[in-house]
Amino acid sequence: MTFEEMKGSLERLPKTNRWVRMGDTLPWTEYEKVYNKRLRNDTVGASNRPGRMVIAALIIKHKLGLSDEETILAIQENPYMQYMCGLTEYSDQPIFDPSLFTTIRKRITIEDINSLTLELAKKSQEKKAREHEDDDRDKDNDGGIPSAGRTQPTDLKADATCADAEVRYPTDTDLIEDGSKYIDRMIDKVCGIKKIRKPAAVERQRIRTIYLNVIKRRHKGAKLIKDAITRMLPLLYRDILTLLNLIGVDDETYGRFNSTQKRTIQAVIDIYHQQETMLRLGIHSCENRIVSIHQPHVRPIVRGKAKAKVEFGAKIGVSIVDGYSFIDHHSWEAYNEASDLTIHIEQYKERFGCAPQRFFGDKIYLNRDNRKTLKEKGIEIMGRPLGRPPKNPTAEQLERERIGVSLRNEAEAQFGTGKRAYRANNIRARLPQTAECWTAMCYFVRNLAKFMRELCRVLIEIWTLIRHFGSSFINPSAKTVYSLAWNSSFLRVER
């Protein structure tokens, strides 16, 4: 296509392009219903951007690992991406302002993204059901035995992981230094609002000197760090008092702070109390410990992994059905994932209309209470039984254990792919609700990649038939004539 033709219409773009394939294949009508149910444009606000445009932009962002600004620029420069976003002709203007991404992430919840994944899973099941029906029809014509077509999944796999937030590894001295730096900025802001000189009692420089004396040491002993914290905390306390005295009872001055600044000031005050308590009691942990003043909702999650024993972010409980991941539990506090079993089963029933036949999970899921629950619900447990393993296990027991381990490993593989390829271990959203949407989108794009791979396998088989037989061919076993036709820019096989 020439540039002028491309500006006139995007319908003539090559259908083999990955963005064009997604634009022609994904169930956009269902996606727009899921997105628009969160809006109230009929009573509140101006008209909104189309749901297809918003969801396609999120897919492009997380598939390529771009920032909000880079995503808009990439769509602005790429006609294939614009086609996926629903545009009918090429435009050199941005589809929307990058700041809208924050509003979108506040608007879309994990439940909404699970609904998008469910639409993919249903479409994949329909495709498999049609393939089974075609196979059965061919076997009937050939005198063979029809196969039992599977129309819905039967297995439920569950596991938990941590979605790491993008925070610096927290140390006590770093947190006190960060708090001092931010309080100093807020003191400057109040002085600027009231047009007064900055007080001489601000201890920022002394805290900075003590901090540099620690971090520049090659070997930092416990005594040196404790001594530095003992000297820094009183100075931070004085700075907090200075800020509060400047604000006083003047509600107008405090009202000039935005919600982020108010939240961060409160986080610095909480950090002071936590550090003072731990120093006074001689301990190194406390309840609801803050590890970042800019993301006070982030908590340390003890995982015991080889790479890092402690991770900082949200803990998520994920269920995997037919290869598609659903985030059923998202928590900023550490918890025992064994309590997620009931949630996973209930969500499975709600999505697919029945209980799973088999459950795959780690040892932590298969405690006595959970085994009793699974037995009551008639769900087969795929894992080692409780108690001492038998000395001479039967071949059936060994095969059952092998199947349980091999299929359960799919959860670990999906976590690895989500973190390595789609950056689910580097959540860069600062607000808790936007971080939840970011995490869910990482795994939704992974689900989307699985759906497109299945579609590509079908297309490869069809193009192989075209290469050998042309636009129409005969199934030798069933004596059935098939023809190939285009329907809504997508290739279909007609019987």
**155-167+298-443: CATH number:** 3.30.420
Query: In the chain, what are the domain boundaries?
Result: 3-108, 155-167+298-443, 172-281
pLDDT at position 395 is 82
pLDDT at position 486 is 42
- Residue 54 makes CB contacts below 8 A (sequence gap 6+) with 35, 104
The rounded distance, in Å, linking the Cα atoms of 156 and 360 is: 6
Please say if the pLDDT value at position 474 is more than 80. no
What string of H, E and C letters represents the secondary structure of the chain? CCHHHHHHCCCCCCCCCHHHHHHHHCCHHHHHHHHHCCCCCCCCCCCCCCHHHHHHHHHHHHHHCCCHHHHHHHHHHCHHHHHHCCCCCCCCCCCCCCCHHHHHHHHCCHHHHHHHHHHHHHHHHHHHHHHHHHHHHHHHHHCCCCCCCCCCCCEEEEEEEEEEECCCCCCHHHHHHHHHHHHHHHHHHHHHHHCCCCCCCCCHHHHHHHHHHHHCCCCCCHHHHHHHHHHHHHHHHHHHHHHHHHHCCCHHHHHCCCHHHHHHHHHHHHHHHHHHHHHHHCCCCCCCCCCCCCCCCCEEEECCCCCCCEEEEEEEEEEEECCEEEEEEEECCCCCHHHHHHHHHHHHHHHHCCCCCEEECCHHHCCHHHHHHHHHCCCEEECCCCCCCCCCCCHHHHHHHHHHHHHHHHHHHHHHHHHHCCCCCCECCCCHHHHHHHHHHHHHHHHHHHHHHHHHHHHHHHHHHHHHHCCEEEECCCCEEEEEEEECCEEEEEC
The rounded distance, in Å, linking the Cα atoms of 211 and 232 is: 8
Nearest of 57, 16, 140, 68 to residue 429 by alpha carbon:
68
Tell me the pLDDT of the chain averaged across its residues.
85
pLDDT at position 47 is 56
Please say if the pLDDT value at position 23 is more than 80. yes
Better-scored residue on pLDDT, 177 or 473: 177
Lowest average pLDDT, out of 84-88, 215-219, 300-304, goes to: 300-304
Q: How confident is the model at residue 252 (pLDDT cuts 50, 70, 90)?
A: confident
Residue 110 · residue 327 · CB < 8 Å: yes
Lowest average pLDDT, out of 295-304, 342-351, 375-384, 389-398, goes to: 389-398
pLDDT (tens digit per residue) in 141-156:
555 544 444 456 789 9
Better-scored residue on pLDDT, 201 or 63: 63
Please say if the pLDDT value at position 76 is more than 80. yes
